[in-house]
Structure 1
Amino acid sequence: MKPEAKILIIPFATDNSRYESWMASITQAFSIMENVSIELLNEDLSGKEMKNSIMEHDILYFIGGKPERLIHVIEEKGLTAIIKNFQGLIIGYSAGSLAFGHDCIITKDKDYPETIVIKGLGLVGFSVEVHYKDNIDGELFPYQMNERYMQYQMEVQFSQERGNYIKV
């Protein structure tokens, strides 16, 4: 992280009433670094204003909450491409990192009665479980097998196109 880094908090996964506590927590976490500025991206800005704000910062910090809400606002404001091309550091906390995958797998818990899969932002080529407990392995296994199968199919297709072979 460079000195005098500018951090932009992307708060769209949670409701406005929690912004203040998130800002306090993040400000405290980065207080050990000198000359770091922290700003909150306001949801009321236009897509163009948000894009400009993103480009002016060195770090994007996606807070937790509901990943489907985060993804919805990002897509609605047309921010996916600028985030994918962002050259700085991207940090995701809880739901913030769930949204980074091609698929966003939300396992059942107190907030979600069933495991669901929604389209993620596609920033990384994998999915994560951010609050892993071994008792949810049964929930994750079908999705894990599906991802492995899809990866295997892509490798086979690539191999066939290039005339190479794959060790299995």
Structure 2
Amino acid sequence: MKLFLTSSIGGSYKENGRRIPCALMNENHFLDHIKKYWTNNSKCLLVSAEPDNQELSNSLKIVFTEAFKLSNLSLSEMDVCDRRNDNEIADSIYDYDVIMLTGGHVPTQNQFLSRMGLKELLKSYKGIIIGISAGSMNCADVVYAQPELDGEAVNLTYEKYLEGLDLTKINILPHFQEIKEQTLDGLRILEDISLPDSKSRPFYALVDGSYIFVENNNSTLYGEAYWIHEGALTKICERDKNIVL
């Protein structure tokens, strides 16, 4: 299995409220890296983070199908897995060369992946897995689901730690360039949530364009990233650089 943990992979931009397909990003040679393992006429599966939002699922399929073509990634089929077909897809998961775990609300996607039994199904999977934002976060053995929706940061019953897919021990915090300046429920996300939570479980904060590649239990970080541990924030890698974790 080749696992890419990303904050964002590009593939589209917004114009007048519409999402327009474009090539995948190649910051830190991400697209070049994917192409090393991509097989001709790959069959790809998009696993939804919003399984009840069929309109979003259909839109993602259209956008990424075109984005892969624009990226010169050969594709024979693009399927979407959401609430409509999760049982059917679970029975044919090994037919896919590439599985993409899309971004969205971490706990919502986590519940869906658990319902599918995806953790067990992926234990013998040999293809490419691409996590995007929430999808990357749910790849961990123990998922750190940092509060992100209104009310979650002050909800005493909100569960920050969930059982994940156990594809890696690494926890990531995506879109760090944005969240370090944001607030939620009157709290500063970085100073009042991320840093205190890192005393329980450390994680890597990735800016968009950075990613972690995992193969054979070896993990390499590409691009600008930060190590958040014991309440401290440390920059550990720069753009166009990489380090072995």
Contact 2:49 2:134 in 1 (8 A): no
Residues 55-94 of structure 1 aligned to structure 2 (within 5 Å): 55-94=94-133
Identity %: 20
- Of residues 125, 141, 144, the one that matches 1:105 is 144
With over 3 angstroms needed to count, the CA separation of the structure-2 counterparts of 1:50 and 1:122, relative to structure 1, is same
Residues 1-80 of structure 1 aligned to structure 2 (within 5 Å): 1-14=38-51, 15-32=53-70, 33=72, 35-36=74-75, 37-45=77-85, 47=87, 49-80=88-119
Residue matched to 2:168: 124
Residue matched to 1:137: 190
Larger strand percent: 2
2:84 and 2:153 map into 1 onto residues whose CA distance is: 32
Q: RMSD value over aligned CA atoms?
A: 2.4
SS in 1 for 2:175: coil
Q: Which structure carries more relative contact order (alpha carbon 8 Å, separation 6+)?
A: 2
2:49 and 2:143 map into 1 onto residues whose CA distance is: 16
CA deviations on 1:79-115 (whole Å, 9 max, x unpaired) are 2111233211101112111211223323344556418
Contact 2:48 2:102 in 1 (8 A): yes
SS in 2 for 1:146: coil
Larger radius of gyration: 1
CA deviations on 1:98-152 (whole Å, 9 max, x unpaired) are 211223323344556418513122221021111213343322223323235xxxx
Between Structure 1 and Structure 2, how many residues are aligned? 147
Taking structure 2 as the reference length, what is the TM-score of the superposition? 0.53
Contact 1:9 1:61 in 2 (8 A): yes
Larger helix percent: 1
CA deviations on 1:39-96 (whole Å, 9 max, x unpaired) are 112433363x323321100000111112212221221222211123321110111211
Taking structure 1 as the reference length, what is the TM-score of the superposition? 0.74
Query: Any gaps of 5 or more consecutive residues in structure 2?
Result: 1-37, 182-188, 203-245
